[in-house]
Structure 1
Amino acid sequence: MNPLTVKKINRFKEIKRGYWSFLLLVTLLLLSLVAELFINSKALMVGYQGNTYFPIFSDVYIGKDFGLNYSAEVNYRDLKKQFEAEENSDNYVVMPLVPWNAYEQDFNGASYPPLAPDSATQHYLGTDIIGRDVLARLVYGFRTAMGFALMTMVLSYIIGISMGCAMGFFGGKFDLLSQRFIEIWSMVPFLYVIMILVSVVQPTFGLFVMINVVFSWMGITWYMRTMTYKEAAREYVQSAKALGASTPRIIFKHILPNTMVMIVTLAPFTIASNITALTALDFLGLGLMPPTPSWGELLQQGKSNLDAPWIVMSVVTSIVSVLVMVTFIGEAVRAAFDPKKYTRYT
């Protein structure tokens, strides 16, 4: 690895709040990818009459498969209670830590939903206004928000970096026409476009990613145009041209590696803005279709039902925590990868 890159990474590790925020956020993201193992209404393992079943990885089992008198899908929480009540039985059920999924409604609590946090019902953060587990919807909503933010960032950066590099490197009429196009396109009202599309077609995760990509690639384009324009005028690029290096080689082997600082620095703040954008759209009712787990939808519920404070407290704490971690990571990256700190060596 390049010694300069090693120095930057070591400097990033020295900024503790950014480094630990990065580790925590990555850990939470990885855990959310396998959230079904921790938060699910399906059992992890069922032992019945000497046979072992893994419902979470298998097809749907019906009640009669485990000696129950119904043909619908098994309620594994009730099955666990039944097995535990049996005497001298080897039957057992292993449930996830939170035995509820993000869509299931609980109308069997002590009162009508929303239910307050209670370890007895295993609704550790309570339920929302229609009885769905808040913790489950927070975790799955986090996965949705992070997936949206990362996919949008990657796609918009691919477009923006490509366009910005081309504008800065080739210049001339191409640069001039591209600037005018970006200026015109940036004047299109994003919120109005969302409102029109939502009223015409059913909004999906992929549709929202594409819409946000279409309107968010312009920001990184201006930065990359400026950086490429500056790098293209430096001696090492002129030397590469004199030696007969091709345009793709000059851009990908020389210019892009020297502009990565800008990309790495802006990435965390782009993730934060994408999370905020999706949450705001869901809060306004212009986001993902119900019953998709969403922080914005939970925030809307919390605002409209202040007599159930656990809803708004849970989602606000989650949003603020994630945005603070992303901000700390961005600040640490910006400080660690600052090129001014490494212009000279001793």
Structure 2
Amino acid sequence: MKLNPVARKRLQRFKEIRRGYWSAIILAALFVLSLGAELIANQRALLVIYEGQWYFPTYGGILPGETFDLGYRYETNYKDLKLKLESSGKGTVIMPPIPYGPLETDLSVGDFPPHAPSLATAHYLGTDTSGRDVLARIIYGFRIALLFSLLLLFFNYLVGVSIGCMMGFWGGAFDLVFQRLIEIWSNIPFLYVIMIVASIVQPGFWTLVAIMVFFGWTSITWYMRTATYKEAARDYVMAARAIGASNTRIVFKHILPNSVSTLITFVPFSVAGGITSLTALDYLGFGLPPPTPSWGELLKQGTENLDALWMVLSVVGAMTLVLMLVTYIGEAIREAFDPRKFSYYD
């Protein structure tokens, strides 16, 4: 796709801000890796070679123990299978780097979780109070939190930008009605609504997205309304009207492209806000239902069991890293899209 000169200059300027540029690469790499979390942290094997047959349990479905002559019909214990095949020489089992799933409990008689970090047991960040691997839950929790914040960003922008653009472009009674509506909407206590919903139904992923979009779209609306008012008064918009351009063309070909610098600078901070909001709701007990992997739920366990300091440090460290990367990206985007440096009139 060919970029216009201003877009190329903005991209070049973004690359020149090395801290933001490398932060974007690192965050994108972490997100891509999290999409394949099953290949990194999983109780199922990546590959089993048994009597000349190749099996891929991670994405190939659950294999019963009788497949490998283990004498039971439920899902194979691949750690046990690995030991047996290595001792008998009948095959090979390749496990993920973290051989535990986010919901798998590692319990033994007389030994009570949480367990401290240990290389011997491959619990690199220890276990939580239920014996589940902390690192596995952090990886899966990161994927859920980032997908949640990206969906929240998309729907908030879809609704907020649409309404804000209509308010600024049409003005008049439409603008006045939505101004009053947004003022009322912004004063509704969001946490109380979550508490009421949680008392009626167990909030799920899509339920939380819907509730947060329902109350979160107003923040971007004011910025889009102001940007539309400003752009609609420009000479190039007047010229477009004079030659008979339709309202749709004016909005999509002139106003929105020239408002992108205002909108895009809020994207990284909106992502950070979505992550922290979900973490806070999970910490308070109004977020995703257990046993869903969640940073907030891990943080709550850690604060209630201060002897297991590794849980608090792991979650705080992960959140600090992600929010720091997002902040650096936001600074670089804000600098690259500074309208005092580059402007675009079509």
Q: 2: distance between equivalents of 1:58 and 1:31?
A: 19
Superposition deviation, residue 17 in structure 1 = 1.1
Superposition deviation, residue 159 in structure 1 = 0.3
> 40, 43, 49: which one pairs with 1:41?
43
Superposition deviation, residue 90 in structure 1 = 4.0
CA 1:175–1:117 in structure 2 vs 1: closer, same or farther (change >3 Å)?
same
Alignment of 1:287-306 (within 5 A): 287-306=287-306
Give the match for residue 283 of structure 2.
283
Range moving further from structure 2, 225-234 or 103-112: 103-112
Alignment of 1:53-202 (within 5 A): 53-86=55-88, 89-108=89-108, 111-202=111-202
SS of corresponding position for 2:341: helix
- TM, length-normalised to structure 2: 0.97
Superposition deviation, residue 72 in structure 1 = 1.7
Give the match for residue 241 of structure 1.
241
Give the match for residue 13 of structure 1.
15
Which AA in structure 2 matches 1:313? Answer: L
Give the match for residue 50 of structure 1.
52
Q: 1: distance between equivalents of 2:19 and 2:218?
A: 31
Give the match for residue 314 of structure 2.
314
Superposition deviation, residue 342 in structure 1 = 2.4
Superposition deviation, residue 111 in structure 1 = 3.4
Which AA in structure 1 matches 2:71? Answer: N
Range moving further from structure 2, 52-61 or 127-136: 52-61
Q: CA RMSD in A?
A: 1.2
Superposition deviation, residue 343 in structure 1 = 5.2
Superposition deviation, residue 341 in structure 1 = 1.3
| CA deviation profile, 1:285-312 (whole Å, cap 9, x unmatched) | 1111000000000000110111011111
Superposition deviation, residue 108 in structure 1 = 3.1
Which AA in structure 2 matches 1:39? Answer: A
Task: Kindly indicate whether the alpha-carbon contact (under 8 Å) linking 1:109 and 1:121 is maintained by their aligned counterparts in 2.
Answer: no
Superposition deviation, residue 158 in structure 1 = 0.4
Range moving further from structure 2, 223-232 or 46-55: 46-55
Which AA in structure 2 matches 1:117? Answer: P
| CA deviation profile, 1:163-187 (whole Å, cap 9, x unmatched) | 0000000001110111011111111
Q: 1: distance between equivalents of 2:60 and 2:272?
A: 37
Superposition deviation, residue 331 in structure 1 = 0.7
Task: Kindly indicate whether the alpha-carbon contact (under 8 Å) linking 2:6 and 2:343 is maintained by their aligned counterparts in 1.
Answer: no
Q: 2: distance between equivalents of 1:264 and 1:187?
A: 26
Q: 1: distance between equivalents of 2:59 and 2:277?
A: 34
Q: 2: distance between equivalents of 1:36 and 1:246?
A: 50
Task: Kindly indicate whether the alpha-carbon contact (under 8 Å) linking 1:109 and 1:115 is maintained by their aligned counterparts in 2.
Answer: no
SS of corresponding position for 1:341: coil
* Matched positions, count: 342
Superposition deviation, residue 29 in structure 1 = 0.4
Q: 1: distance between equivalents of 2:74 and 2:86?
A: 21
SS of corresponding position for 1:340: coil
Q: 1: distance between equivalents of 2:112 and 2:131?
A: 8
Q: 2: distance between equivalents of 1:38 and 1:81?
A: 20
Q: 1: distance between equivalents of 2:108 and 2:22?
A: 41
SS of corresponding position for 2:334: helix
Q: Percent identity of the aligned residues?
A: 56
Q: 1: distance between equivalents of 2:110 and 2:143?
A: 31
Which AA in structure 1 matches 2:171? Answer: G
